[in-house]
Structures are given as structure tokens and as C-alpha cells.
Structure 1
Amino acid sequence: MRSSSSMVAAGKAGKHSGVALVDVRVGTPAQGRDVPKLDDSQIEARLRSLPGADRVTARALTKVHLAGTTNTVLVNFYRGDAPAEAEQIVEGQHWPSGPGEVAVGPSFLKQHGLAVGDRTTMYLNGRQTDVTVVGEVMLGNAQAMDSDWQTATELAPNTSAVDYTVQLGPHADAQAYVRGIEEADPGLHPSLRSDSPDAATTTVVGFSSVFTLLLTIVAALGVFNTVLLNTRERRRDLAMLKSIGMTPRQVVVMTVTSVAGLGAVGGLIGIPLGAVAHRLLVDHAGVLTFPESMKDVWHAPQLAALTLAGVAIAVLGALIPARSAARLTIAEVLHNE
């Protein structure tokens, strides 16, 4: 479950809870849509001028060749306010903020044999520019890089944005803003971004929850079987204790207490093992790099709850055989003997 906590935190990264985001795509003939009447700079100015706009980010998408490989890679060039990806830098100096700076994901670094701080060269239409990897983003496409708009002007001076992301203010009317874009230019196609959890996060959390439930049931059944066998072997001892005055309630308490300690020990042993397993999982996710803040999911109240969970599972598994032992009569034991 701690791994799912890291995954949930990763899914929320870059999302502004309670703040509406509007994605605005620029229509092109290839898409069968109207072309905007406004040019690139006018579109950005209009988006900023509409009521409710707080931050506007323009993005251009271009294929370039990278030194040392024959394949092309995609480059996202950003202009305006920093995109949500800027908050996902897990290693390096900063998000690209000047010419010749790029940020990439862990898969890209691994596939192209690069590391933060390395330099490489981009080629596009006879032009070239040297770039430096200044940051590693938490999650990224293995064939895509993120860069600043100033780098785009060096490679392709006439680059235009293909889409815009608008972050609205806390009390802005998102639907009114979308209508305002549609009225401003029919060649702009806005859509309100959903803030629901992504499919990967939902899958991981669901699987972790089911897996935890199954482990709890299996552990409880293991305790049930052990206590049942133990009480059968100690039938004579239990009968002797009851013959000298032990009540059924005391039998239940004695039986349950005997395994509660083992449950506490099991919880104390399982916590460090779980912490090690969690760190191994998040450190070797491959396509995803977790920052230290997302790995720090172990806190004192949760650790205490996990220890108590071990006790609770042991008690749950021992309760039924303990009650069965409490109902055992002295005459029945002597008869079986």
C-alpha cells in the first residue's frame, strides 16, 4: 500500500486541485478544422485577455534529429508561463528557461545513454544547436524532450504553437471562458481538462487494495489453523485449567493473548521488510523517477497502525478457535482420553 501512496502522489504531480485547466488546440487543414484568423502572438494575447485567465502556456511540437542517432525525436518547445511539467523536475538544476536547455524523462536518458549535465546536438532543416540536459522530469516519453521557446527560434525561427494550456483563477467560470475562446476565433478548439485520476493510478491503487485484502485473509487463516491445531493438542491442559476454576472467558483471553504477541512481533518484523521492498520498487520503476518527497511515505502514526494491524489479524484469526476451546467441557475431554 505504501507503493500505491507514492503512485498516487505521482499521479497528482503537476495537477492544481480545485483550479480549472483549459486545453486549446489550433485547428489545421490536416485535421479538417478551420485555421485560426489570429496569428500565434495574437492568440496568446487573446487567451490572456479573456476573463478568468491566470496562466497561459504555449507549446510547439517539432521533430528533430539528435547527434549519435538516425532516428528523430520529438521536442516540446514551451513559451509563456511554466507548464505543469516544470514542477516534476526530480534531478538537475531547473526547468529549461533559456536557449540550449532541455529536460527529459528517465526512459529517454536510459535509451540515449545520457545523464543530467550532458550535452548533445539537435539538427533541423540544415540548422543545428547544442543543448544541455539541465533536468530530469519524473515521467517522460522515451522519444521526447522538453525545451524553451528560445531554442526553437534557433532551429526554426517561424515556429508557431500547436496548442495552449490555460490555468484559470480559483473562482473563474470555466464554461464561460471556453465559450469566450470559441467566440474569439472559430479556429481555436478549447476543451476543459478533467481532473480525475489517471487510469494507471486507479489500477495501481485498486490492485494494491485487493492484494492487501488477500494477504490479510491469508494471514488470518494461517493464524486460525495454527491456533486450532494448538488448542486440539492442549485439550487436556485446558480441561485441567477449567477444572480448577478457569472460566470460558478466561480461556478465550488466554488463547487470543498468546497469539497477539506473535502478531505484534510479526508487524514489527514486517515493517522494515516492507520499507525495503517499497524502496526497491520505487527506485527501479524504470519509466518513472520518484522524488524523495514521494518516497517518504513512512510516518510514526502509520507505523504504529501497521503494528496494531498485525495484532488485529492475529486476534481475528485466533478468535473462532479460542471460542471453540472455551466451550470445551471437562467431561468431553475425559471421554476422549
Structure 2
Amino acid sequence: MKFILQLAVKNLSRYKRRTIITAVAIAVGLMMYIIVDSILRGASLESMRNLRWYETASLRVYAEGYWEDRAFLPLENSIEDPASIMSLVEGEQGVATVRTTFAAEMILYSDDFGENGNMNVKVTAIDPTQDFEVYRFEDTLVEGRFLEPGEMDGLLLGSWFAEDIGAEVGYWVTLLTRGKGGFYEAFDMQIVGIVNCPNPNVNRTLIMMDIAAADTYLGMENSVTSIDILLPEKTDLELAKVAIQAKLPEGLEVFTWKDLAQDYLAIVGAKQGGTGMILFLVFIIAAVGVSNTMLMAMYERMRELGMMRALGMRDRDILLSFLFEAGGIGLIGSVVGIALGSLVNIYLVNTGFDFGFMFRNMDIGFRISSVMRGAWSLSTILKAFSAGIFLSMLVAVLPIRRALKLDIPTCLHHQ
């Protein structure tokens, strides 16, 4: 076995150019695998954070029946006496805030916007004194100011939404909606602030008002549509969900952020599946390169192979020699590929790439508004390292076995 290993190492050094070219092909493939996996993993992790920080919190409490009709934002399925419910879910479990979400028609006037218009929107009414303890909007203000407690005519917009409709701080709009009892209500609101956060979905759609104003205009009678709960980062949400559900009275349901973001998670799963196929094709390309190299090596060294067999070397030993040679090429390519991929990944993790110019007008599914950063994955690096060596040896088997089927005279007379 020692002789076979020495022979394989010697052949690697004898055919330096072929070894380098094939190793580079493997290295590039593995480097791309690590980079793409890092970007996708980082985008997924950051999207999940931005979902919790700006859209869903950790858990959310709805009245029974709301979830089934959530697309219609029904005010009738609301939580009565939310203050008593808040006292049950806060404390060691985390912090909570109340919200009321409703559908409305926003009417724009030519005096401010240059022309009259209207559009269907979703409005979120918040408690300005409590909401920032659950959601991270503190540092997102780019113009104007935040809502003040009890403010009856103030409106906060997402930056992209404001840009799309040409809104500026000080402009007035009218919201036309149906209240909790089914009555129609119209009220004038002034834009007092514009926010820009790392979540593009929020920037595109956010419209916020004070929950006290919503309670008055919609006839909510101190009821709300949801109670949003923030829990520590590493909390087991399923266990927390069960624990909180046990404390709540009948008629209320608890959902985790994963329940609330099912559509998003399905999109991410589909994207990862498609990207996994691309990464598989990268491996195939590298494998074809190794196979082609080994096939060329076998035909160029056919007389050498015949001489080895004529001197009594067994086919099994010859096969092992060439397999170790292919594994050596894979080892070199894997080490170089992982080193290059890791160097690039250091930049991806610490700095990332700014794709804001693309994300502004294109929804790629991820909750990232500009900079895409990578994420480290030891399992990916180990997988790439082992796959580079294993695939190099695997794809070398066929050409070696084909060459060993030839008889000794044929090999010796090969030109």
C-alpha cells in the first residue's frame, strides 16, 4: 500500500500541468458552492430576523376565527379586554404590544399630490408607548417624526410607499373604511413621518396610525385585532406557544412567526431547492473535468500501464494507484477551493454586497432591502471538502476500468 501511495504522489508531480488544471476546476466549483450557500444562508437568516423585528414579532395572539379570515382583516374577530390578556403573556415570557390592522381606501388629493387618486391599503394601528419595545422602528425614521400617543390625525408611511405615491411629510390623505359594526367611516390624516427599515415588504406597504384614533374611528370599544409578543432570541417558540396558550381564556389562539410567515417560508424553500440544483450542476461540471482528465491520463500512459501489468502488478493495485492519484487531485482542489471560498466569505459576512439598486424595484422574496451578507456554515465546508475528494475518485473509476479491460500487448503497442 505504501508503494501504491508513493506512486500516486509521484504521478501527481510528474504531470503538474494536468494536476493544476483539474485541481483549479474543482477549486472553482467548490468556491462557488461555498459562496452561493453562504449568501443564501445569510439572506435567509437576515430575512427571518427582519420578519420578526418588523412584521410578526415572535408570537401573535388572535381571536378565534380571525386566522381563517385573515385575508379580509376582519374587525369583528377582535380581542376584547386586551389589557387583561397582556398581563398574562408579559413578564418572564417577554414583552407585548397591541395592534389593530384594517383595510381601507386611501384617497389622495391634487392639492398635495398633483392629481386626485385612490388605492386600497392596509393600515396598522399601534400603541406608540409600547410598540417600539416589540418592534425595532426606533432608528428607522428618515423624515418627520414618530406618532405621539393619542394623536388623532397622524400617519406614518414606509419610505418606498411614500416615494411611489409622491408623498411628503405634511401632506393630507383621507382613509375610507368600515368600522367594527359594519358602518362606513372616513377620516382625514396628515403624514407626520416616513420610515425606512431593512425589511422591503414593510417599506413598500407600511401605513401606521395611533391605536387610540383607530379605536375611536372604527368603534373598536377598546378591542384590538392582535397582541404581538417579543420573546428572547433563543426561546423555543413551540414550547412558549403551548405555555401561553394554556394561560389564555377560551376564544384566543397563539401563532408563532413561522405560522404567520408560511407563504414566505414556502417561497424560500422553493428558491433553495432551485439553487440546490444549480449547485449540483456545479459539482457535475467539476466531476466531468476530473473524469476527462483521468481518461486522458489513462490513454497517454497506456504503455506505462501495460508495462506495470507485464511486470506483475495486479489490476487492483493499478486501480488503487490511479484512484489515489484522482483523490490527490481532489484533495488539492478541495483545499484550495475551501481556502478561496472562506476568504471571499469573510468579506461577505463582514461587509456583503449592496443590491439596493435591484431590490427597490424587484421583489426577490427575501426580506432584505439592500445589503446581502453571508453566513458561516461548518457543515457546508466539510461537505464541500469531502465531496471534492470523493467525487474525484468516483468519476475516475470508469475510465480506469475501461483501460484495464485491454490486454497487455494492446497496451504496450498503444501509440
Cα pair 1:6 1:295 within 8 Å, conserved: yes
Tell me, yes or no, if structure 1 residue 284 matches structure 2 residue 355.
no
Q: Which residue of 2 is the match for residue 46 of structure 1?
A: 84
Q: Which residue of 1 aligns with 2:217?
A: 158
- Alignment equivalent of 1:119, drawn from 157, 166, 169: 169
Q: TM-score, normalised by structure 2?
A: 0.56
Residue identity matched to 1:333: C
Superposed, 1:132-151 pairs within 5 Å as 132-140=193-201, 144-149=205-210
Shift of 1:199: 1.4
1:77, distance to aligned residue in structure 2 (A): 2.0
1:163: Cα distance to partner? Answer: 0.9
Quote the residue 1:71 is aligned against: 118
Cα distance change of structure 1 residues 281 and 220 upon mapping to structure 2, 3 Å threshold: farther
Q: Which residue number in structure 2 is paired with residue 297 of structure 1?
A: 375
Structure-to-structure mapping, 1:248-259, within 5 angstroms: 248=318, 249-258=320-329
Match of 1:185 in 2: none
| Rounded Cα–Cα distance in structure 2 between residues aligned with 1:271 and 1:98 | 45
Matched, 1:209 2:276: yes
- How far the C-alpha of 1:166 sits from its partner, in A, is 4.3
| d(CA) in 1 for partners of 2:194, 2:75 | 37
How far is the alpha carbon of 1:59 from its aligned partner? 1.7
Aligned match for 1:56, one of 59, 81, 97: 97
Q: Which has the higher contact order (CA 8 A, sep 6+)?
A: 2
1:77 and 1:147 in contact (8 A); partners too: yes
1:138, distance to aligned residue in structure 2 (A): 0.7
- For the pair 1:23 / 2:97, whether they are aligned, the reply is no
What is residue 82 of structure 1 aligned with on the other side?
131
Q: Which amino acid aligns with 2:123?
A: V
Distance 2:278 2:305 in 1: 37
CA–CA distance in structure 2, aligned partners of residues 34 and 302 of structure 1? 47
Give 1:333 deviation, angstroms.
0.4
| Structure 2: gaps spanning 5 or more residues | 1-36, 149-153, 175-185, 232-239
Q: Counterparts of 1:231 and 1:84 in 2: how far apart (Å)? A: 68
Report how far residue 45 of structure 1 moved: 1.9
Q: Deviations over 1:65-120 (max 9, x none)?
A: 355262334332212642898348896569x85245635275x3663467xxx635
Which amino acid in 1 is paired with 2:96?
R
Provide the TM-score with structure 1 as the length reference.
Answer: 0.66
Report Cα offsets for 1:199-245 as digits up to 9, x if no partner: 11222222233332343234323422332233223312433466678
C-alpha separation in 1, matches of 2:210 and 2:64: 18
Residue among 312, 316, 321 paired with 2:399: 321
Q: Once structures 1 and 2 are overlaid, which stretch shifts more, 198-207 or 240-249? A: 240-249
Matched residue of 2:305: which SS? Answer: helix
Provide the rounded CA distance (Å) in 1 between the counterparts of 2:125 and 2:65.
15
Aligned counterparts of 1:207 and 1:331: Cα–Cα separation in 2:
50
Cα deviations by residue, 1:128-178 (Å, 9 ceiling, x for unpaired):
41322133251326763232417x73x995344651124398486344345
Asked whether the equivalents of residues 57 and 82 of structure 1 are also in contact (C-alpha less than 8 Å), the reply is: yes
Q: Secondary structure at the match of 2:375?
A: coil
| 1:333 and 2:411 aligned | yes
Counterpart of 1:284, as a letter, is M
Q: Give the letter for the 1:297 counterpart.
A: A
Given that 2:158 and 2:206 are in contact with CA atoms closer than 8 Å, whether structure 1 keeps it comes out as: yes
**Alpha-carbon distance in structure 2 between the residues aligned to 1:307 and 1:282:** 33
User: How many residue pairs are counted as aligned between the two chains?
Assistant: 315
**Structure 2 CA distance for partners of 1:270 and 1:296, relative to 1, 3 Å:** closer
Distance 2:75 2:147 in 1: 33
The 5 Å alignment of 1:98-109 reads: 98-99=147-148, 100=154, 102-104=156-158, 106=160, 108=161
Residue 199 of structure 2 corresponds to residue 130 of structure 1: no
